[in-house]
A and B are shown apart, each in its own frame.
Chain A
Amino acid sequence: MLTYILRRLAGTLPTLLGVSILVFVIFNVVGDDPVYLYLGKNATAADVESMRRELGLDKPLVVQYLTSMKQLVTFDLGFSMSAREPISRMFLQGVGPSVAVTLPALVLYSGVSIVLGLACAYWRGTLLDKLIVGGATVGMALSYVAVMIFAQYFLAFVPSQHGWVSFPISGYERGFPDCLPYILLPNLISAFVALGYDTRFFRAVAVEEMNKEYVRTAKAYGAGTRKILFKHVLKNILIPIIARVVVALPLMIAGSFLLESFFVIPGLGYKLLHAIDSADYPVIRAFTMLIALLVVVANALADILNSLVDPRVKLS
Chain B
Amino acid sequence: MKTKTLIVIAAAALAACSKSGGKPGEKVLVYGAVAVSGSADPNMVASVYDADLVGLTYDTLYEYEYLARPFKLKPALAAAMPEVSKDRRTYTIKLKPGIFYPDDACFKETGGKGREFEAKDFVHAMYRKADPKTKSQTWWTIEGLIEGLNGLRTQAAAKPFDYDTVIDDLKALDRHTLQFRLKRPFPQIMWVLAKESMAPHPLECARHYGEDFANHTVGLGPFKLDEWQKNARYTLVRNEKYREDYYPTEGEPADQAAGRLADAGKRIPFADKVVVHEFSQMQPYWLQFRSGKFAFGRVPGEFTEEVFKLKSKEGNKKIWERDAKGERILNPDYAAKYAYYPLFLLDFIYRGFNFEDPIVGGRGKGKKLRQALALAHDIEAENDLFYNGLNVIYAGIVPPGVQGFDPTVKHPYRGPDLERAKKLLAEAGYPEGKGLPELQECGSEEGRTVEQSAFFIKNAERIGVKIRYEAMRFAELSKKLKEKRCQIMGLAWGGDWPDAQNFVQLAYGPNKSPGSNNFNYDVPEVNALYEQALPLPPSKERDVIYQKINAIILEDQPFHGAMARTRDYLIPPGTLNFKPEEMLSNHAKYIRLAEWGDAK
Chain A residues in the interface with B (C-beta under 8 A): 32-34, 36-48, 50-51, 79, 82-86, 90, 93, 149, 152-153, 156-157, 160-161, 165-174, 177-178, 180-182, 184, 261-266, 270-271, 273-274, 277-279
Chain B nearest CB, measured from A121 CB (Å): 28
**Segment at the interface with A among B93-101, B224-232, B519-527:** B224-232
> CA A42 – CA B142 in complex, angstroms?
12
Q: A47-B132, A171-B233, A271-B231 are in contact. Are A264 and B279 (CB under 8 A)?
A: yes
Q: A47-B132, A165-B14 are in contact. Are A156 and B287 (CB under 8 A)?
A: yes
Q: Which of B277-292 contact A (CB under 8 A)?
A: 277-281, 283-284, 287-288, 290-291
Q: Is there an interface contact between B38 and A170, defined as CB atoms closer than 8 Å?
A: no
Q: Is there an interface contact between B39 and A84, defined as CB atoms closer than 8 Å?
A: yes
Q: A36-B478, A42-B140, A277-B473 are in contact. Are A168 and B229 (CB under 8 A)?
A: no
Q: Is there an interface contact between B17 and A85, defined as CB atoms closer than 8 Å?
A: no
Q: Is there an interface contact between A184 and B14, defined as CB atoms closer than 8 Å?
A: yes
Chain B nearest CB, measured from A160 CB (Å): 5
Q: Which of B2-30 contact A (CB under 8 A)?
A: 10-11, 13-18, 21
> CA A161 – CA B333 in complex, angstroms?
13
Q: Is there an interface contact between A41 and B211, defined as CB atoms closer than 8 Å?
A: no
> CA A82 – CA B41 in complex, angstroms?
13
Q: Which residue of chain A has its CB nearest to the CB of B36?
A: A274
B475 sits at the interface (CB 8 A): yes
Q: Name the A residues within 8 Å of B13 (CB-CB).
A: 177, 180-181, 184
Instruction: Give me the 7 closest cross-chain CB pairs, A-B, nearest first.
Output: A181-B17, A42-B140, A32-B475, A84-B214, A37-B475, A170-B284, A36-B478
Q: Which of B506-533 contact A (CB under 8 A)?
A: 514-516
Q: Name the B residues within 8 Å of A157 (CB-CB).
A: 287, 290-291
Q: A165-B14, A168-B17 are in contact. Are A40 and B473 (CB under 8 A)?
A: no
Q: Can you list, as one digit per residue, whether each of B126-148 has a CB less than 8 Å from chain A (1) or not (0)?
A: 00000010010111100100000
Chain B nearest CB, measured from A215 CB (Å): 33
Chain B count of residues within 8 A CB distance of the other chain? 55
Q: Is there an interface contact between A165 and B15, defined as CB atoms closer than 8 Å?
A: yes
Q: A83-B38, A264-B277, A266-B231 are in contact. Are A152 and B14 (CB under 8 A)?
A: no
Of listed B15, B17, B472, B516, residue having the most chain A CB within 10 A: B17
Chain B residues in the interface with A (C-beta under 8 A): 10-11, 13-18, 21, 36, 38-39, 41, 44, 46, 132, 135, 137-140, 143, 157, 211-212, 214-215, 229-233, 277-281, 283-284, 287-288, 290-291, 293, 472-476, 478-479, 482, 514-516
Count how many pairs of residues, one from A and one from B, have CB atoms less than 8 Å apart in the complex: 159
Q: Is there an interface contact between B284 and A169, defined as CB atoms closer than 8 Å?
A: yes
Q: A83-B230, A84-B39, A166-B14 are in contact. Are A45 and B482 (CB under 8 A)?
A: yes
Partner of A182, one of B17, B231, B278, B478: B17
> CA A171 – CA B13 in complex, angstroms?
14
Of listed A33, A41, A161, A178, residue having the most chain B CB within 10 A: A41
Q: Name the B residues within 8 Å of A184 (CB-CB).
A: 10, 13-14
Chain B nearest CB, measured from A161 CB (Å): 7
Of listed A44, A50, A86, A149, residue having the most chain B CB within 10 A: A44
Partner of A36, one of B36, B231, B290, B482: B482
Chain B nearest CB, measured from A239 CB (Å): 33
Q: Is there an interface contact between B284 and A167, defined as CB atoms closer than 8 Å?
A: no
Q: Is there an interface contact between B279 and A39, defined as CB atoms closer than 8 Å?
A: no
Chain B nearest CB, measured from A89 CB (Å): 9
Q: Is there an interface contact between B17 and A271, defined as CB atoms closer than 8 Å?
A: no
Q: Is there an interface contact between A86 and B212, defined as CB atoms closer than 8 Å?
A: yes
Q: Name the B residues within 8 Å of A34 (CB-CB).
A: 475
Chain A nearest CB, measured from B140 CB (Å): 4
Q: A44-B514, A47-B135, A149-B283 are in contact. Are A170 and B478 (CB under 8 A)?
A: no
* Interface pairs (11), CB distance under 8 Å: A33-B475, A41-B478, A43-B514, A44-B140, A82-B38, A84-B41, A152-B284, A171-B17, A261-B280, A264-B233, A277-B473
Q: Which residue of chain B has its CB nearest to the CB of A161?
A: B291
Q: Is there an interface contact between B278 and A264, defined as CB atoms closer than 8 Å?
A: yes
Q: A86-B212, A262-B284, A263-B284 are in contact. Are A32 and B476 (CB under 8 A)?
A: yes
Q: Is there an interface contact between B137 and A40, defined as CB atoms closer than 8 Å?
A: yes
Q: Is there an interface contact between A165 and B476, defined as CB atoms closer than 8 Å?
A: no
Q: Is there an interface contact between B231 and A274, defined as CB atoms closer than 8 Å?
A: yes
> CA A170 – CA B229 in complex, angstroms?
13
Q: Name the B residues within 8 Å of A270 (CB-CB).
A: 231-232, 280
Q: Name the B residues within 8 Å of A50 (CB-CB).
A: 132, 157
Q: Is there an interface contact between B281 and A261, defined as CB atoms closer than 8 Å?
A: yes
Q: Name the A residues within 8 Å of B135 (CB-CB).
A: 38-39, 47, 51
> CA A182 – CA B232 in complex, angstroms?
13
Q: Is there an interface contact between A266 and B14, defined as CB atoms closer than 8 Å?
A: no
Chain B nearest CB, measured from A216 CB (Å): 38
> CA A308 – CA B160 in complex, angstroms?
61
> CA A45 – CA B138 in complex, angstroms?
15
Q: Which residue of chain A has its CB nearest to the CB of B211?
A: A79
